[in-house]
Amino acid sequence: MITVLKQIKSKFIWKQKENFIAKFIIKNDFNLESENDKFVGIFISSWFGTFIPWYSIVVGLLLKKSYNRRLLFIVDDMPFSTEKLNPKFQYKSIVKVAKYLEKYNDVLYLSQQKNIQIDKELINKYAYFNTLHDIKTEQFTKNHPYYKLINNQLNLSSSKLSSIFKKYSLEYVFVPGGLCYLTGVVYELAKQNNTRVCSYDSGMKGAFLLATEGVAAHLEDIPRAVETIINDKSINLDDIKKDVENLINDRFQGKDIFKSQIGESDETIDYANSILLPLNVNWDSAALNKHVIFKDTIEWIIETTKWVLENTSKRIIIRQHPVERFNYGKGLDDYKLILEKEFGTNSRIIFIESVDKANTYDILKQTDLVITHTSTVATEAAIYGKNVITVSNVYYAQIGYVETPTNKEDYFTKISELIKNKLNIDENNRLKAIISYYVSQELNWCFPEFLPSTNVNLWLKSSLDEVLNMLDTKEILEVIDSDIPLPIVKWKKLIDK
């Protein structure tokens, strides 16, 4: 009964917002006279039951108004996932709303496009990531019913998407996520056609991420921003170092906006003579499509633990991501059980669960080496002067303050070298880590007023000009259209004050 009531309420709220966005389009859309033969693609898709499609439509209209952009709305009206995760009434509603856009814009519906088959391996790749994201475990095969469902659906949708990129010349494409649903395939096909894909990610606490190119959650704009800022003659390193110290102290004490740390600092706990593996949430977009050396997180943990036990006297500390203590962040892979099945009880294996009141930063001060997938702890460790190895192609692998082996032989050789030499990273790399942290944790986060997750009624009932004047809207539009990363835009505003 409760489930039925929730469904009724969900449909009612969705229908209300559908009416709001329809009125918004009628009131605010306009005819644009432009000689530009290139379009800006706005990908419209349902998105885990959120109001992302309405947000994307409004952003498109804002780009049209602010930058005279000729718009091509690409409407994904094909089935994806299950009725529970992607209700049919939502993508039918999107089609209904898209009809209002046809008056002054070009609108394409995916289901109506011709089929041009694409590489099957590409389909398999994104079927895997979507499955992992949705079922929240790495322990499945290609025979899993959900994987087979997603694979079939992606195969149908992707072939139709391919025909759009063959037919239209796009300046860039604006998409949610850049990895889940069909957006990962959008990114791959756009890249094949030398078209930029700008993506965004909006989640908890009113936070907003934006990438001028690639997956927003992968922070792929950071290396470019770090290079710009570190070479800026107006840079005040003392101020940045102070800001970074405050940011780390807040995280250390669990006072940052996300409050992921729950354990108070206790320096009496012995974490010395150890190697630390801080884990990501393996199904989260920030961690997907990042492994370089191992096929997945489980293989990384098992093989690294085995090597450390057999080739060193070190303890290995595996720290589950603290956010997994919450239902919204919880995964289904029980790493503690996996380790026990593989190695039994071993005093040199310390597994810290997400609910354990341990503080990651106490471990950082004492550990000898940090090995990460895509965790921010890598940058914090480098700031502490620790050597770091990453097993992924994470953004900070491009900046130069972490070791980046590309195969297992090099990986284990590098571990051996670093624990044998016992050298801290040099000051130049530590400085890169400090700038990288400042850019990624201070300049890259945005908390705008116009968001797909909050204030929805407010902006849907506003005029286009009113939305344009909301906090940070103009900066976000500048980033999308100019291909200048948000941290650089914010940095230039800071130094111009």
Structural contact between residues 174 and 43, judged by C-beta atoms closer than 8 angstroms = yes
Interval 426-460: pLDDT, tens: 999 999 999 999 999 999 999 999 999 889 999 99
| pLDDT class of 268 with cuts at 50, 70, 90 | confident
Higher pLDDT, 1 or 474: 474
pLDDT cut 70: percent of the chain above it:
97
- How many residues does the structure list for the chain? 497
- Mean predicted confidence (pLDDT) in 225-244: 94
* pLDDT of res. 414: 97
pLDDT at 65 over 80: yes
Q: In angstroms, rounded to a whole number, what is the distance separating the alpha carbons of residues 399 and 223?
A: 6
* pLDDT level of residue 330 (50, 70, 90 thresholds): very high
pLDDT of residue 229: 96
CA distances to 78, 88, 149, 300, 341 from 318, in Å: 41, 41, 34, 11, 15
What tens digit of pLDDT does each residue of 284-321 get? 999 999 999 999 999 999 999 999 999 999 999 999 99
Average pLDDT over every residue of 159-185: 95
**67 vs 64: CA distance, rounded Å:** 6
pLDDT band at residue 265 using 50, 70 and 90 as cut-offs: low
DSSP-based helix, strand, coil % in the chain, nearest 5: 50, 10, 40
The pTM score is: 0.95
Q: From CA 302, how far away is CA 279, in angstroms rounded?
A: 13
In whole angstroms, give the CA distance from residue 151 to residue 115.
Answer: 16
Residue 30 above 80 pLDDT? yes
Strand order in the sheet with 274-278: 349-352, 315-319, 274-278, 369-372, 388-390
pLDDT digits (tens, 9 = 90+) for 341-368: 999 999 999 999 999 988 888 999 999 9
**pLDDT at position 39:** 95
Q: Is the CA virtual torsion 288, 294, 295, 301 positive or negative? A: negative
How would residue 335 be classed by pLDDT, with cut points 50, 70 and 90?
A: very high
What six digits make up the tokens of 203? 């989640």
- Confidence bin at 206 (pLDDT 50/70/90): confident
Q: Tell me the pLDDT band of 262, cut-offs 50, 70 and 90.
A: low
Give the mean pLDDT of 116-136: 96
Where helices occur in 237-280 by DSSP H, the ranges are 237-252
| pLDDT at residue 453, as a whole number | 87
Sign of CA dihedral 398, 442, 198, 126: positive
Query: What pLDDT, on a 0 to 100 scale, did the predictor assign at position 279?
Result: 97
Q: In what order do the strands lie in the sheet with 71-75?
A: 106-109, 71-75, 39-44, 170-176, 196-202, 208-211
